[in-house]
Amino acid sequence: MPAGQESMRLNPALGQTFRTNRADDVLPLSRPMLGTDGRLHTQLSVSKGTVVVINIASSNRRKDVWGDDAEEFNPGRWLNNGLTVPLEKTPGMVYGSILNFLAGNRTCPGWRIAVLELQTFICDIIEGFRILPVPGDVVVREFHGVSIPKVDGRPVRGW
Ligand code: HEM
């Protein structure tokens, strides 16, 4: 379902999460970063107790992974099962190189159920309804830990 995957890529329900390391550590960087000291760094020293922000939303829009049109809604990129996205650039991710379910040891254990539910839901909806934009309504994101779509200017019910 390329349109569903592309929607998830651009609109992750959880845009950020956090981790705190329990010991001093060194984080390798996938590409060098220019520090405020003017030097190029290939790794970062992270002292015990540092809060590290994992930016899921930004990761899903990386131009070096997704190409120059990373900010655009382009379901076609998922044809060929998303294999147009080189997996080695996104190690540890479980679902199509997007970080929505995180990665590594604490990947969301419910990701397969979630994907199945979404697919079933979308099939049911498009079978029974025609979905059209409402003229004048603008859908925006609202953040409540997770982000929720709502119609702009309708603060109470959102629809
Ligand atoms: C679209 C739906 C879902 C998304 C985007 C999602 C995403 C995530 C993410 C990003 C995490 C890691 C959070 C963190 O550690 O900071 C997580 C953890 C978790 N998810 Fe999901 N999830 C979804 C659906 C589900 C479902 C359907 C289940 C269960 C059937 C589930 C069960 C869990 C559990 C138990 C954890 C904690 C795992 C751990 O801490 O080791 N999730 N999920």
Domain ranges of the chain: 1-17+48-130
Q: Which atom of ligand 1 is nearest to the CA of 105?
A: 41
Residue 88 in this model has a pLDDT that exceeds 70:
no
Q: Ligand 1 centre from 134 Cα, in Å?
A: 32
Ligand 1 within 6 A of CB of 108: yes
Copy the structure tokens of residue 57.
Answer: 């939303």
pLDDT (tens digit per residue) in 97-119: 789 999 888 899 999 999 999 99
Return the best residue to mutate from 8, 108, 117, 121 for the ligand 1 pocket (most ligand atoms within 8 A of CB).
108
Give the Cα separation of 95 and 99 in Å (integer).
8
DSSP 3-state of 106:
helix
pLDDT at 90: 65
What confidence score (pLDDT) does residue 45 get?
93
Residue type at 60 in one-letter notation:
N
Rounded Cα distance between 27 and 32, Å, is 12
Q: pTM to 2 decimals?
A: 0.86
Identify the bridge partners of residue 103 per DSSP, sorted by sequence position: 93
**Spatial CA neighbour of 69 closest among 10, 29, 11, 8:** 10
CB atoms within 10 A of CB 85: 19
